[in-house]
Amino acid sequence: MDYLEHRKASPRSLLFALVTVSDSRTFETDESGGIAEDILRKEGHVVCRRLIVRNDEGEIGRIIGELLNNGEIDVILTIGGTGLSKRDVTVETVSKTVEKRVEGFGELFRLLSYNDIGTAAMLTRAFAGVARGKILICLPGSKNAVELAIRKLIIPEIGHMVREARR
pTM metric for this prediction? 0.95
Among the listed residues 87, 134, 140, 78, the one whose alpha carbon sits nearest the alpha carbon of residue 112: 140
Provide the 3-class DSSP secondary structure of residue 125: coil
pLDDT band with cut points at 50, 70 and 90 for residue 3: confident
Which CATH code fits 14-166? Answer: 3.40.980.10
Taking residues 27-42, report their average pLDDT.
Answer: 97
End-to-end CA distance of the chain: 14
Q: What is the pLDDT of residues 14-34, one digit of tens each?
A: 999 999 999 999 999 999 999
Residue ranges of domains in the chain: 14-166
Q: What is the pLDDT of residues 65-120, one digit of tens each?
A: 999 999 999 999 999 999 999 999 999 999 999 999 999 999 999 999 999 999 99
The share of the chain scoring above pLDDT 70, in percent, equals: 100
